[in-house]
Amino acid sequence: MKSRAKACTPEPVRSLAAPLLVLLGSVASVAVLLYVFGDDAAKFWWVFLEVVLSSALILGFIWLAPRRLGYHATPSRLRIRTFISSVEVPKGRIKRARLVSYRLGFKTIGAEMPGFYAGGFRSNLGGLRAYVSRKRGRGVLLELKDGRKLLIKPQDPETCLKPLRLQLEEDDE
Q: What is the pLDDT of residue 13?
A: 65
- The structure's pTM equals 0.75
Per residue in 74-118, pLDDT tens? 888 899 988 888 899 998 999 988 899 999 999 999 888 878 899
Taking 50 as the pLDDT cut, the residues of the chain under it are 1-3
Distance from C-alpha of 51 to C-alpha of 47, rounded to nearest angstrom: 6
Distance from C-alpha of 159 to C-alpha of 71, rounded to nearest angstrom: 12
Distance from C-alpha of 149 to C-alpha of 107, rounded to nearest angstrom: 15
Q: Which residues pair with 70 in a beta bridge?
A: 81
8 Å CB contact between 158 and 8 = no
What is the domain partition of the chain in residue ranges? 13-68, 70-170
Distance from C-alpha of 31 to C-alpha of 47, rounded to nearest angstrom: 12
Q: What is the pLDDT of residue 130?
A: 95
Q: What is the pLDDT of residue 7?
A: 56
Closest listed residue to residue 13, CA positions, set 101, 114, 104: 114
- For the chain, give the longest Cα–Cα distance: 69
- Quick one: DSSP state of residue 6? H
